[in-house]
Amino acid sequence: MVLEAIKNFLLQPVVWLAILSIGVTYARRISFERKQFRIAINRDFFEGRHFIKNFFLLGIIGSLITILIGVMLPWQWIIIYQVLMVIAVLIYPFFKIDSAFFWWISLLLLGGLSLFSAELANLLPSSIKQQVLLSHSALATSSAALLFIAALFLVAKWLMLKRYQSMEISPVIKNGKRGRRLVFYSWQDLALVPLVCLVPSGTLTNFLPGWFFITIAHHQFQLFILPAIISSGFKFWRQSAQATYRFEKRELLELLLAFLVGAGLCYIFPAIFEIIIIVLLLLSVVAMILKRRFERKENNWYVETHDGVRVIAVQPNTPAAKMKIQPGDEILTCNGLTVHSESELYAALKTDATFCRFKLRNYAGELKLAQGAIYADSPHEIGLVIFH
């Protein structure tokens, strides 16, 4: 039974498209960095490593929860959701759209299917319309499970965010309005999470061969491994990475609490599920507005400066990384010499073939010192990515 479930899971297109999407994302990142910065900032395929870790860790945790609670999902939603996930993974390497957006679209489409079930019933053969359509009462019964799945997705996003590392942010240079170049940063993570869930028994196997029955307390269900696509991430260009990271974590926890309360209310009072979903939708919109406002709240840009040399990024496992120089730091002096440009910085580095001392101003405006050994006669291998 287990091997059959795994085989059926691997046959789903979204699984292989997600793997392909991760590979394309990595290739595009490396290509873009080489084009804009003349070097790949981080050659590590951390996207793939996180993808594998998320698959097993989040899959095991999520499936244990869904099995213990007995989450039962309408198969109509599963079909809608999988179609949307195919679209999501196809566009992910090019446009980063929050996976929560697709969950909301799937729920709205399911609501539309229920709302127009009477009209659609006239267009379908009587032999299948009872299985294809979803009644209003069935949607009300399933609403708690759907909101609980959304809460699980938020838990997964939060756990993915917990593994954020500053070396994995991706910078992009854009031209500012006053002639100086600006740096925009983003951090993204994508997960394929296999969730074991129950589906009410019916004639589903006529549509999707390979789903099999299990019996629990004299009731038949169909067991299915749902390939959930979950994205997590944030972007910043006026705030520090840590401030944005803390805001994102807090917002996810607040939404998680709201969805858990909503799922509980839908379970106890299924008749008012529409009101609960509308309230949660409004809360999600408010959260998105607050996030956009936070992103634009400060006016401390990562901008090209004439007072020193702005650090755009730091390559991992390099002398600069060991000195704990951070993206956004401004190098004021190197080996006692004031620097204002790339050429002046590397000229100052050459004054000492094996050691360097920096005076820096961090993003918050605080002065700090950094020093360490460098590769002999190789100042360009210090690991600093700066404006050319």
Task: Say if residues 303 and 180 touch (Cβ distance below 8 Å).
Answer: yes
pTM exceeding the 0.95 threshold for the entire prediction:
no
Q: Looking up tokens 């059959």, which residue turns up?
A: 4
Which residue segments constitute the domains of the chain, with CATH numbers given? Answer: 2-295 (no CATH), 309-386 (2.30.42.10)
Task: Give the Cα-Cα-Cα angle 174, 178, 184 (nearest 5 degrees).
Answer: 25
Q: Give the pLDDT confidence of 168-221 residue by residue, as tens digits.
A: 999 999 988 777 899 999 999 999 999 988 877 654 544 554 455 666 656 667
Q: Give the dihedral sign, CA 236/242/247/252.
A: positive
- Residue 228, sorted as left (phi over 0), alpha (psi -120 to 50) or beta, turns out to be beta
Give the pair of three-digit tokens for residue 100.
């929560």
Q: How many CB atoms lie within 10 A of CB 10?
A: 12
pLDDT at 203: 45
Task: Say if residues 381 and 357 touch (Cβ distance below 8 Å).
Answer: no
Residue-level pLDDT, tens digit, the chain, 388 residues:
667 777 778 888 999 999 999 999 999 999 999 999 999 999 999 999 999 999 999 999 999 999 899 888 888 899 899 999 999 999 999 998 999 999 999 999 998 887 776 565 555 555 555 555 677 788 888 999 999 999 999 999 999 999 999 899 999 999 887 778 999 999 999 999 999 888 776 545 445 544 556 666 566 677 788 999 999 999 999 999 999 999 999 999 999 999 999 999 999 999 999 999 999 999 999 999 999 999 888 778 999 988 899 999 999 999 999 999 999 999 999 999 999 999 999 999 989 888 999 999 999 899 999 999 887 656 668 999 999 8
> Residue 14: which residues within 8 A CB-CB, separation 6 or more?
82, 85, 86, 89, 192, 227, 229
Task: Say if residues 309 and 385 touch (Cβ distance below 8 Å).
Answer: no
pLDDT at 333: 97
CA dihedral 72, 57, 157, 153 (to 10 degrees): 0
> Residue 158: which residues within 8 A CB-CB, separation 6 or more?
232, 249, 252, 253, 256
CA dihedral 300, 301, 305, 309 (to 10 degrees): 100
Rounded Cα gap, residues 226 and 206, in angstroms = 18
pLDDT at 9: 83
pLDDT at 376: 65
Beta-strand relationship, 170-175 and 181-200: antiparallel
CA dihedral 273, 279, 280, 282 (to 10 degrees): 150
Q: 3-class secondary structure for 100-116?
A: HHHHHHHHHHHHHHHHC
Rounded Cα gap, residues 8 and 61, in angstroms = 20
Q: Give the pLDDT confidence of 313-350 residue by residue, as tens digits.
A: 999 999 999 999 999 999 999 999 999 999 999 999 98
Buried b (16+ CB within 10 A) or exposed e, 323-348: bebbbbbbbbbbbeeebeeeebbbeb
Buried b (16+ CB within 10 A) or exposed e, 117-128: beebeeeeeeee
Give the pair of three-digit tokens for residue 338.
């004031």
Q: What is the CA radius of gyration of the chain?
A: 26
pLDDT at 209: 45
pLDDT at 126: 56
